Amino acid sequence: MALHLGDTAPDFTADTTAGPISFHEWAGDSWVVLFSHPADFTPVCTTELSRVAQLQSEWDARGVKPIAVSVDSAEDHASWRPQIEAFGQTTVGFPIIADQDKAVAELYDMIHPGEGDTSSVRSVFVIDPAKKVRLSITYPKSVGRNFEEILRAVDALQTTDRASVSTPVDWRVGEKIIVPPTLSTEDARERFDDVEEHFPYLRTANIRAGV
Ligand code: BEZ
């Protein structure tokens, strides 16, 4: 069954390149980006895992643990890793789940028959510290993802949680947020800086430092 936003991310135990894990325990109090790829030793996947590795300091800055998954073995993942690292001139600091029995792929609905039913598509789940699924996207096997967009979305999720606001299209940290519709413009001016009323239903503002 498909997972919906707000659902608890299913727990599982699995072998990984960092040894066996129990997923919820491994996640601890961190945010998690769980992302699947179709197969080891394939071109698009190699570029993707390299990029995730290159972005390690960005994940760390946001308290995010990335973890990859495919239906290949831990031995295959381990043999592939030097090529991922060589391609991206980087070090892979995150675990890769060995999901040979497809248990994780099935729990997270990562196998899509229209894309071939033997391996996972390019799914991404952003999971918060309460283990709730907060965002999911699915790309076909032929299209590499943009992990900077995942970072941007994590920034937006963390900001909307912290400040009880929404974020507009293409929002990035430091840009104006959207004032909640439940707040009067007068109250918004008390709480935010530079409130602009574009339409009665669309007001933007800056979050104050420290909020
Ligand atoms: C790739 O990573 O290039 C790939 C893997 C499986 C199917 C299609 C593309």
> Does residue 6 lie within any of the structural domains?
no
For ligand 1, the distance from its centroid to the CA atom of residue 140, given in whole angstroms, is 9
Together in a domain, 183 and 117: no
Together in a domain, 41 and 80: yes
For ligand 1, the distance from its centroid to the CA atom of residue 37, given in whole angstroms, is 8
Q: Name the pLDDT band for 183 (thresholds 50, 70, 90).
A: very high
Q: Which of 40, 41, 44 to mutate to test the pocket of ligand 1 (most atoms within 8 A of CB)?
A: 44
**CATH number, residue 188:** 3.30.1020.10
Q: What is the mean pLDDT of residues 188-193?
A: 97
Together in a domain, 109 and 184: no
Q: Which of 35, 36, 40, 45 to mutate to test the pocket of ligand 1 (most atoms within 8 A of CB)?
A: 45
Q: What percent of the chain has pLDDT over 70?
A: 100
> Does residue 153 lie within any of the structural domains?
no
> Does residue 158 lie within any of the structural domains?
no
Burial 85-105 (b: 16+ CB within 10 A, else e): eeebebebebbbbbbeeeebb
Together in a domain, 62 and 99: yes
Together in a domain, 59 and 135: yes
pLDDT at site 210: 84
Together in a domain, 45 and 115: yes
What is the pLDDT of the chain when averaged over all its residues?
A: 97
> Does residue 79 lie within any of the structural domains?
yes
Tokens 């994940």 found at: 59
pLDDT at site 117: 81
pLDDT above 80: residue 18: yes
For ligand 1, the distance from its centroid to the CA atom of residue 36, given in whole angstroms, is 12
Q: Name the pLDDT band for 68 (thresholds 50, 70, 90).
A: very high
pLDDT at site 2: 86
Together in a domain, 39 and 131: yes
pLDDT at site 5: 98
Q: Name the pLDDT band for 80 (thresholds 50, 70, 90).
A: very high
Q: What is the mean pLDDT of residues 10-23?
A: 98
pLDDT above 90: residue 1: no
Together in a domain, 91 and 186: no
- Residue numbers annotated as active site: 45
Domain that holds residue 26: 13-145
For ligand 1, the distance from its centroid to the CA atom of residue 30, given in whole angstroms, is 30
Together in a domain, 49 and 113: yes
> Does residue 17 lie within any of the structural domains?
yes
Single-letter residue type at 131: K
Which residues line ligand 1 at a C-beta cut-off of 6 Å?
Answer: 38-39, 42-45, 141-142
For the stretch 101-137, pLDDT in tens is 999 999 999 999 999 989 999 999 999 999 999 999 9
**CATH number, residue 79:** 3.40.30.10
Together in a domain, 121 and 184: no
Are the C-beta atoms of residues 159 and 208 closer than 8 Å to each other?
no
Q: What is the mean pLDDT of residues 37-43?
A: 98
User: What is the tally of structural domains in the chain?
Assistant: 2
42 CA: nearest ligand 1 atom: 2
Q: What is the mean pLDDT of residues 18-28?
A: 98
Single-letter residue type at 138: T
For the stretch 135-154, pLDDT in tens is 999 999 999 999 999 999 99
Query: Which residues make Cβ contacts (< 8 Å) with residue 101, sequence separation at least 6?
Result: none
